[in-house]
Amino acid sequence: MAEEKEFQPVIVGFFCNWCTATAADLAGTLRMQYPANIRPIRTMCSGSVDPVYVLRALLGGADGVIVGGCTPGDCHYVSGNYKARRRMAILKTMLKTLGIEDDRVWIRWISAAEGAKFARTMREVTESIKKLGPNPLREDWSI
Amino acid sequence: MERYATLPVENGVLGAIRQFLAGLLEKKLVDALLVPLELPTGENVVPTIVSRPEQVQRANPLAPVLPVNAARLVSRVTLVSSSPERLGVVLRSCELRALVELVKLKQASLDKLLLIGIDCFGTYSVNDYEKSVKESASSTEDFLNRAREGKEDPLLRKACQICEYPVPMGADLTIGLLGVDLAKGILLVAGTPEGEKVIEEMGLEEAKAGERQPAVEKLTAERARKREEVLKQVQEEVKGLDKMMATLATCINCHNCKTACPLCYCKECFFDSPVFEFEAEKYLGWAKRKGALRMPNDTLLFHLTRLNHMVVACVGCGLCTEACPNDVPVFDIFRLVGYEVQKVFDYVPGRSLDEELPLTTFREEELPNIGV
- Lowest mean pLDDT of B129-138, B164-173, B231-240, B279-288, name the range: B129-138
Give pLDDT, residue A2.
Answer: 55
Interface with A, mutate which of B308, B341, B361, B363 (most A CBs under 10 A): B308
Amino acid found at A1: M
- Residue B6's DSSP bridge partners are B187, B205
Per-residue pLDDT averaged across B204-218, rounded? Answer: 92
In angstroms, the Cα distances linking B289 to A130, A138, B153, B242 are 21, 9, 50, 20
| B113/B194 Cα distance (integer angstroms) | 10
Q: At what angle do helices A80-97 and B299-310 cross, to 10 degrees?
A: 120
**How many Å separate Cα B6 from the centre of its chain?**
26
Q: Is residue A85 very low, low, confident or very high in pLDDT (cuts 50, 70, 90)?
A: very high
Residue A3 lies inside a defined structural domain of this protein: no
- Report phi then psi at A95, rounded to 5: -60, -45
* B74 Cβ contact list (under 8 Å, min separation 6): B34, B89, B91, B99, B102, B108, B113
**Residues A67, A118 contacting (CB under 8 angstroms):** no
Domain edges within chain B: 3-211, 227-360
What's the pLDDT at A140? 83
CA atoms within 13 A on the CB side of B271: 22
**pTM score, whole prediction:** 0.95
What is the per-residue pLDDT across B118-142, written as a single tens digit (0 to 9) for each?
999 999 999 999 998 888 766 888 8
CA distance A107 to A65: 8
pLDDT one-digit tens code per residue, B43-88: 899 999 999 999 999 999 999 999 999 999 999 999 999 999 999 9
Using alpha carbons only, give the angle B41, B45, B46 rounded to the nearest 5 degrees. Answer: 115
Let me know if residue A124 belongs to a domain. Answer: yes
Contact yes or no for A66/B370 (Cβ under 8 A): no
Q: Rounded distance, CA B271 to CA B291, Å? A: 25
Does residue A108 register a pLDDT over 70? yes
Residue A138 lies in a domain: no
Identify whether A57 is part of a domain.
yes
User: Mean per-residue pLDDT for A128-137?
Assistant: 95
Q: Tell me the ipTM for this assembly.
A: 0.94
CB A88 within 8 A of CB B341: no
Residue A119: what residue type? A
Mutate which of A94, A114, A125, A139 to test chain B, going by most B C-beta atoms within 10 A? A94
Residue B210 is predicted with a pLDDT of 87
Residue type, A78: V
- For residue A102, tell me if it sits in a domain: yes
Task: Give the percent of chain A with pLDDT over 90.
Answer: 90
Beta bridge partners of B91: B117
The pLDDT of residue B317: 97
Q: What is the mean pLDDT of residues B250-277?
A: 94
Tell me the average pLDDT of chain B.
94
Closest CA to A18 of A119, A138, A112: A112
Determine, yes or no, domain membership for A140: no
First to last CA, chain B: 46
Write the burial class of residue B228 (CB in 10 Å: 0-12 exposed, 13-18 middle, 19+ buried): exposed
Q: Which of residues 302-341 of B touch A (CB under 8 A)?
A: 304-305, 307-309, 311-312, 333, 336-337, 340-341
Among A132, A67, A138, which Cα is nearest to A104's?
Answer: A132
B95 touches B163 (CB < 8 A): no
| Single-letter residue type at B347 | Y
- Whether residues B344 and A61 touch (CB distance < 8 A) is answered with no
Whether the CB of B240 is below 8 Å from some CB of chain A: the reply is: yes
Partner residue opposite A51 with nearest CB, options B298, B300, B305: B305
Q: What is the pLDDT of residue B136?
A: 77
Can you tell me the distance from the alpha carbon of A107 to that of B324, in angstroms, rounded to the nearest whole number? Answer: 35
- Please write the tens of the pLDDT for every residue from B297-341: 999 999 999 999 999 999 999 999 999 999 999 999 999 999 999
Chain-chain contact of B239 with A97 (C-beta, under 8 angstroms): yes
Compute the distance between CA of residue B254 and CA of residue B308 in angstroms, rounded to an integer: 19
Nearest Cα neighbor of A69 from A49, A89, A55 is A49
A92 and B370 in contact by Cβ < 8 A?
Answer: yes
Cα–Cα distance for residue pair B70/B36, rounded to 1 Å: 9
**What's the mean pLDDT in A79-85?**
96
Q: Is B150 near chain A, with CB under 8 Å? A: no
State the pLDDT confidence band at A37, using cuts at 50, 70 and 90: very high
* Domain presence at residue A97: yes
User: Residue B359 pLDDT more than 60?
Assistant: yes
- Give the separation between CA A101 and CA A80, rounded to whole angstroms: 25
Domain that holds residue A47: 11-131
Q: Quick one: pLDDT at residue B138?
A: 67
Within 8 A of B299 by CB-CB distance, chain A residues are 143
- Residue pair B265/B102 in contact by the 8 Å Cβ criterion: yes
State pLDDT tens for residues B148-195.
888 889 999 999 999 999 999 999 999 999 999 999 999 999 999 999
A119 lies in a domain? Answer: yes
Report helix, strand or coil for B46: strand
Q: Give, in order, the Cα–Cα distances in Å from A118 to each of A70, A72, B112, B335, B367.
A: 12, 16, 55, 38, 22
Task: Assign B150 to helix, strand or coil.
Answer: coil
Domain CATH code at residue A24:
3.40.50
Domain count, chain A: 1
